Amino acid sequence: MPLMQIPIVYEDRNFLAINKPAGLVVHGYRVSGIGSNGETRMAKPEHTLVDWLIERYPGITTVGDDPAERPGIVHRLDKATSGIMLVAKNQKTFEYLKSLFQKREVRKTYLALVRGVPKTKSGIIDAPIGIRNGTTKRSVRSAKMAKEAITEWKVLKSGSRKLENGMNSAVSLLEIRPKTGRTHQIRVHLASIGHPVIGDKLYGGKLDASAAGFYSPRLMLHALSVEFTAPDGKRMKLEAEIPEVFHISDLGSGSE
């Protein structure tokens, strides 16, 4: 398989930072009920970030908590989310970076284009996230396996975008800073306050789940940057280029 085109934001002998494209799966995922004993196995999408890593960095196959499945992967992004990701090249760096994320010493910043205009210019969502019974969806209303989740947000700009039916509707570009790292946290939290991420077919409600919803070529969520202290003690801020679809020249200044 030829190398995929994945932009490298930064690289040294210990780790690299890449700008993951939207639509790319980070690694295979576990499924149940496969095999004569119904054992859990890994489902393998056609192309993954791990494929790219192994082909470009063969030595990475021994790095990580589960190198056979997630070599070098310190953290992950949803398939539909683009943006910055850190990947360790050796076990020592993997353990170091993993500890930073566990101790919440990595400052993460996202951009999200959401439906509507918040009543305030900024806010904090402090609501535990659990799993809905009988599904894999997350919710702030479910107590099942609920875990602490905190998300800070602020409005950068507000205006309007066209729906697929030709009508305009209010939208806002938000800067998001998650303080915890729960699965689907940003998407669940923003939907819970009535401003789901545009293009979110899982948490966006009927508008984004149907062809009559907002026109969006993708989930409008982008991991913009990470700030942390590197293994050599240097303070770093690594930023992924903002995709064209997030450019907001057509938005008004409703938040100003």
> pLDDT for 120-173, tens place per residue?
999 999 999 998 877 778 888 777 878 899 999 999 998 877 665 566 778 899
pLDDT higher than threshold 50 for residue 237? yes
CA distances from 70 to 41, 43, 52, 66, 186 (A): 14, 13, 12, 6, 23
What is the pTM (predicted TM-score) of this model? 0.85
Q: Which residues share a beta bridge with 126?
A: 150
Q: Which amino acid is at 226?
A: V
Q: Which residues share a beta bridge with 10?
A: 17
Domains in the chain (CATH in brackets) are: 1-103 (3.30.2350.10), 106-226 (3.30.2350.10)
Beta-carbon-side half-sphere exposure of residue 111 (alpha carbons within 13 Å)? 21
DSSP-derived secondary structure for 43-84: E--SSBHHHHHHHH-GGGGG-SSSTTTSTTBSS---TT-EEE
pLDDT at 136: 73
Q: Which residues share a beta bridge with 239?
A: 225
User: What is the chain's length?
Assistant: 256
Q: Which residues are known to be catalytic?
A: 78
Tell me the pLDDT band of 179, cut-offs 50, 70 and 90: very high
